[in-house]
Amino acid sequence: MRFYFIFILLLLLCPHLDSAVDDEVQYRNIYVDPLAGQNSVGIFITVQAAIDSVPENSRNWVVINIKEGIYSPSLTVSLSFESSEKVIIPQEKPFIALVGKGHESTHIVWDDHESIHQSPTFTVLSDNIVVQGIGFRVRTTHTTNPNPGKGNPRVPATAAMVSGDKVYFCQVAFHGVQDTLWDKEGRHFFLECVIHGFVDFILGNGQSIYENCTIVTMGDNLGFITAQSRTDPSESTGFVFKNCRVLGSTTVKLGRPWRCHARVLFYNCYFASVIDCEGWDLWLCTGQERQMAFGEYSCYGHGADQTGRVIWEHKFSKSEVQQLTDPSFIGASEWLNQPWWLSLPTS
Ligand SMILES: *[C@@H]1O[C@H](CO)[C@@H](O)[C@H](O)[C@H]1NC(C)=O
């Protein structure tokens, strides 16, 4: 009974799942509970152990239900929990849903840093993944460069890296300072997520819509929200922020190009007074202003004041905006089901 209830709840909250859950497709629930005994069938004491238990290349959804708690190598205060939790969903493990008890209740924490390649607390390499109700963190104490005299006063430390296709994050939080969320490649949908950071904290060459998300800036001088890395004008990638809010405690630019064909659109977003008046930065792409597509459309709030914006900001046409903000930009009809989509609860 409990199993069915939880699955129905999941369907209500993460609506596209039903496209794969029809009469022919099987799914099953498994559980992560650090306090469970070693011999409990279908209950794992770490998130990674639960992922490892999923058969390779299966097409049947497995829903991994994660209890509240802090899943980290050393914070074992509230849980008698010893394994480290740097969580990886490998390429051969598609159709997994990781479902926590809310991003303020279920935390996965790691304290790696140095580079975006080895540091992520959470890594998604496979396609068809759902993540809901979990907070991913890097410890901010490790984001300060011990030798600040040499260049960057911070070190990259990544809370999550996503390179699978068709990945859906619903009510997930990402906490970091520099390079928090590496939206590396693939089509992704982030709904009602919270992303914290300071420098280049949403980066990569994903093809993603961030809808109804909250972006929170924190830091000590001027930061940058995005560092998109589209490398070629023929690529269909880009970051689209739709009905999002940008809040926080430090001034940021909306983005700077990691590669010179970067594409980012903020659509109908609320900007608190944390947005630097120039809006965008050229970084290493001086002279290539026309290749980038960085723009805002129908944004509002103090930070949306256009006085002082860089002259090369891209003026997206109405039809470009329609194309980029439509669910078809991420091929939603292939993997996100429309009727359920519309019945999503707002929280
Ligand atoms: C995002 O929020 C708006 C306003 O509350 C709502 O109308 C819309 O359905 C939400 N989007 C999704 C995909 O839930």
- Interval 177-190: pLDDT, tens: 999 999 999 999 99
Which of the following is catalytic: 165, 179, 183, 281?
Answer: 179
Pocket of ligand 1, candidates 212, 213, 270, 337: which has the most ligand atoms within 8 Å of its Cβ, to mutate?
A: 212
Pocket of ligand 1, candidates 16, 208, 243: which has the most ligand atoms within 8 Å of its Cβ, to mutate?
A: 243
Would residue 200 show up in a list of annotated catalytic residues for this protein? yes
Whether the pLDDT of residue 210 is over 50: the answer is yes
Stronger pLDDT, 118 or 200, i.e. the higher one: 200
What's the 76 CA to ligand 1 centre distance in angstroms? 37
pLDDT at 74: 52
Which of the following is catalytic: 200, 276, 281, 305?
Answer: 200
Residue range 115-124: average pLDDT? 88
pLDDT at 281: 98
Residue range 72-93: average pLDDT? 63
pLDDT at 260: 97
pLDDT at 75: 45
Residue 291 beta carbon below 6 angstroms from any ligand 1 atom: no
pLDDT at 341: 35
Stronger pLDDT, 112 or 55, i.e. the higher one: 55
Whether the pLDDT of residue 155 is over 90: the answer is no
Q: In what order do the strands lie in the sheet with 223-228?
A: 87-89, 122-124, 160-162, 181-183, 199-204, 223-228, 252-255
Stronger pLDDT, 106 or 80, i.e. the higher one: 106
Residue 177 beta carbon below 6 angstroms from any ligand 1 atom: no
Query: In the structure, what pLDDT confidence band is assigned to residue 70 with cuts at 50, 70 and 90?
Result: confident
pLDDT at 36: 76
Residue 211 beta carbon below 6 angstroms from any ligand 1 atom: yes
Residue with CA nearest ligand 1 atom 13: 341
Of 218, 137, 213, 212, residue with least CA distance to 181:
137
Contact 344, 191 (CB under 8 A): yes
Retrieve residue 234's tokens: 């023929």
Residue with CA nearest ligand 1 atom 10: 212
Whether the pLDDT of residue 302 is over 70: the answer is yes
Residue with CA nearest ligand 1 atom 1: 212
What's the 196 CA to ligand 1 centre distance in angstroms? 21
Residue 346 beta carbon below 6 angstroms from any ligand 1 atom: yes
Residue range 114-133: average pLDDT? 90
pLDDT over 70, % of the chain: 81
pLDDT at 14: 52
Residue 347 beta carbon below 6 angstroms from any ligand 1 atom: no
What is the distance between the alpha carbons of residues 240 and 295, in angstroms, rounded to a whole number?
Answer: 10
Q: Measured from the CA of 344, which atom of ligand 1 is nearest?
A: 14
Residue with CA nearest ligand 1 atom 14: 344
Residue 250 beta carbon below 6 angstroms from any ligand 1 atom: no
pLDDT at 148: 57
pLDDT at 67: 86
pLDDT at 23: 42
Residue 96 beta carbon below 6 angstroms from any ligand 1 atom: no
Least confident of 133-137, 212-216, 243-247: 133-137
pLDDT at 71: 73
Q: Measured from the CA of 212, which atom of ligand 1 is nearest?
A: 1
Residue 212 beta carbon below 6 angstroms from any ligand 1 atom: yes
Average pLDDT value for the chain: 85
Whether the pLDDT of residue 7 is over 80: the answer is no
Whether the pLDDT of residue 94 is over 50: the answer is yes
Would residue 179 show up in a list of annotated catalytic residues for this protein? yes
Whether the pLDDT of residue 61 is over 90: the answer is no
Whether the pLDDT of residue 112 is over 70: the answer is yes
What is the distance between the alpha carbons of residues 162 and 164, in angstroms, rounded to a whole number?
Answer: 6
What is the distance between the alpha carbons of residues 97 and 77, in angstroms, rounded to a whole number?
Answer: 27
Stronger pLDDT, 295 or 15, i.e. the higher one: 295
What's the 329 CA to ligand 1 centre distance in angstroms? 17
Whether the pLDDT of residue 126 is over 80: the answer is yes
Contact 189, 211 (CB under 8 A): yes
What is the distance between the alpha carbons of residues 256 and 274, in angstroms, rounded to a whole number?
Answer: 16
Top-confidence range, 13-22, 62-71, 76-85: 62-71
What is the distance between the alpha carbons of residues 299 and 317, in angstroms, rounded to a whole number?
Answer: 15
Of 8, 121, 136, 135, residue with least CA distance to 63:
8
